[in-house]
Structure 1
């Protein structure tokens, strides 16, 4: 089987992609696939201030992460997830500073696990580890300015407890003494990809959803996204609704490599479930799209592993090479035990990111919990 989304464990206990659907009784919704352009008129607030979220390949000041400590959320998976978070933090710390937010009672354990090269702080409490979704998006203005925007995290449509995580974005901004703005919509960082040059990618299933934005139409959500990210247009994918707790985040399937260049993780030829169809359609739409400058987007494919060859037998496992994280001098990716696909993915990433070291990590506990390396990291770019 093939899975390109990023499900999460819920507050009722660890639930994967399939079991989440069964537990909630949610049904997948459908809508026409299309590329929506013409967002330039909506982007005036962001363009007036000239702040925009840059591409993740720009130099970073640090990486932000979060330390999970809730057995109510993770159950028996908690120790494995903590070990994965520590491994990711230690690996990134070889290339740039890493700050991990932890609850005060968990600081000592997190510091011991992550090692001395990682900074662990107890001043910003957290519910879970998904810093991509809960942390602020950092914006720069090209003239030494830095600010932040928060996407009003609501627990992926109030599916998980989020009292602490709802405040993480503004608390990080306050700790740095940089301006913070709340976006005009509810969403998560994993739901949006930016090329840093005016073009965004997102799924309707996650953002145009009554569990996040019940009173907003697509045009209003697009305007709010463009204003928040300093962009001009959104390439919309339909996505997959109600099958995982995120309602199908784009960052497990499609990524921007640069302005005018993207990447899509493709399923194996025999996979034909909802996620596989979603990935193929994302590839078709992105390949036919033009960016904010009116230029075509060159799209590279990265091959999914064969789910019959990976280490995990969990039917809800997420094996997303596309959920890599770019840091200073390196690309931190996952490997899943399909040796042929793992090697091919590493080779592809090395070709796509020349001059950077590609590190492949075993993060199977996070995969079983529905996410990956990009999901648990948030970059702070240099101003």
Structure 2
């Protein structure tokens, strides 16, 4: 949820910040690109062939990551953040290929720190958030394609001269078909079960900084077309208090169809806007069914107890939910609270049987408001 210094400001949970509009946001697809078509009827031959986003636990061809480039973003923390990214890349590379994008003048340093297990390619980036800046992949009868969600710096909050072109440039590099979305958003703003259900927060989609004047219904229709889903479960989220406007991948995740892992505050955490967002999401999930009519089982993933760590800073993202599922493993953050770390590892092991749970320390990344999932993007097997 990439909390910002504005977190102390008074802000109610978002209650539908969009309004009806005639035209969807985002640039129009060009004739040379594949624009998403209207969703075919479920169960039809066309539906079976249409592109869809596989669940994260399905096999991956590779993981993409990005090398943080800018002193203006990280200041004197840039070396520590790069060390964290190298540790995450090495952990993922034990289980599947990792491709790290780096500016040409920084790629040699990235190779030295990441080691030979990580492939580094020359591709201009501004920051490390590959989940949001890179393409979000779908698969179908025509193979793998990448959805370009028109990254705009989370609504113009951060420089994105290069990051705004990462999806296009990466797909061009690999010769992968590009689908330009008719809406603007980020990969961390969606979560799918691979069987027709998607979760999202209104605060990061129905928001004037991404999709001005576009209604939730129009955005939902675009998400269904882009990612091959039949149902969207919406949470309110929180607008304006972190750089992402409360991405769903720090709030609720699918562990399997019908099972949702939910970030929960610790028992001694004073109520705040983030705990209220979690409570609202819990209320939604208790009354929701997925695209196949299943009621949802909700599993709590409680945040670590970091009351004794004031050195971590006000923007620190203290959630285990920003883990990443790879081929044969789950890469999770380790925060140094031994009891909480062990408890979270046990929950993730139970939810992902047969996968090794690999804790990685990411204090520098988390101090910038992000996590492991934010810094990775899977290319699913075709």
TM-score by length of 2: 0.89
> Do residues 356 (structure 1) and 340 (structure 2) align?
no
Indicate how the Cα distance of structure 1 residues 160 and 327 shifts in structure 2: closer, same or farther if over 3 A, else same. Answer: same
**How far off its partner does 1:282 sit?**
1.1
In 2, are the aligned partners of 1:26 and 1:242 still within 8 Å (CA)?
A: no
Alignment-derived partner of residue 296 in structure 1: 295
Task: Give distance in 1, aligned partners of 2:99 and 2:276.
Answer: 37
> Is this contact kept in 2: 1:151–1:187, CA < 8 A?
yes
Match of 1:76 in 2: 76
Does the residue aligned with 2:106 lie in a helix, a strand or coil? helix
- Deviant stretches of 4+, over 2 Å: 25-30, 41-49, 309-313
Q: Distance in 2 between matches of 1:85 and 1:152?
A: 24
Q: Does 1:175 pair with 2:173?
A: yes
Maintained 8 Å contact 1:302/1:322: yes
1:43 equivalent to 2:39? Answer: yes
Aligned residues: 358
Determine helix, strand or coil for the equivalent of 2:81.
helix
Using the TM superposition, give the Cα deviation of residue 283 of structure 1 relative to its aligned residue in structure 2, in angstroms.
Answer: 1.9
Q: Contact 2:16 / 2:206 at 8 angstroms: preserved in 1? A: no
Rounded Cα–Cα distance in structure 1 between residues aligned with 2:367 and 2:71: 15
The separation in 1 between residues aligned to 2:343 and 2:75, in whole angstroms, is 34
Q: 1:357 to 1:310 in 2, by over 3 A?
A: farther
Q: CA deviation at 1:269?
A: 2.5
Give the stretch that moved more between structures: 354-363 or 308-317: 308-317
TM-score by length of 1: 0.89
Query: Which consecutive unaligned segments of at least 5 residues does structure 1 have?
Result: 8-16, 34-40
CA distance in 2, matches of 1:96, 1:313: 31
CA drift of 1:47 comes to 3.8
1:265 matches 2:249: no
Cα distance in 1, alignment partners of residues 144 and 371 from structure 2: 27
Change (3 A) 1:82 1:26: farther
Seen in structure 2, the aligned counterparts of structure 1 residues 42 and 275 have a Cα distance that, compared at 3 Å, is farther
CA distance in 1 between counterparts of 2:114 and 2:40 reads 42
1:78 aligns to what SS in structure 2? Answer: helix
Kept after mapping to 2: 8 A contact 1:60/1:381: yes
Q: Match of 2:85?
A: 85
Check conservation: 1:312, 1:364, Cα contact below 8 A: no
The 2-side partners of 1:378 and 1:226 are apart by 20
Output the CA distance in 1 between the equivalents of 2:142 and 2:10.
46
Aligned to 1:332: 331
Cα contact 2:55–2:193 (8 A) shared by 1:
yes
Q: Deviations over 1:11-38 (max 9, x none)?
A: xxxxxx2x1457xx895563179xxxxx
Contact (CA 8 Å) 2:11, 2:273: kept in 1 or not? no
Matches within 5 A, 1:18-33: 19-20=5-6, 30-31=14-15
In the aligned structure 1, how far is the partner of 2:205 from the partner of 2:278?
18
3-state secondary structure, aligned to 2:131: helix
Quick one: structure 1 residues 26 and 171, their matched pair in 2 at CA, closer, same or farther if it must change by over 3 Å?
farther
**Closer, same or farther: CA 311–44 of 1 in aligned 2, 3 Å:** farther
1:54 aligns with 2:38: no
Retained in 1: the 8 A contact 2:62–2:378? yes
C-alpha change, 1:108 and 1:205, in structure 2 (3 Å) is same
Superposed counterparts of 1:52-201, under 5 Å = 52-122=52-122, 124-141=123-140, 143=141, 145-201=143-199
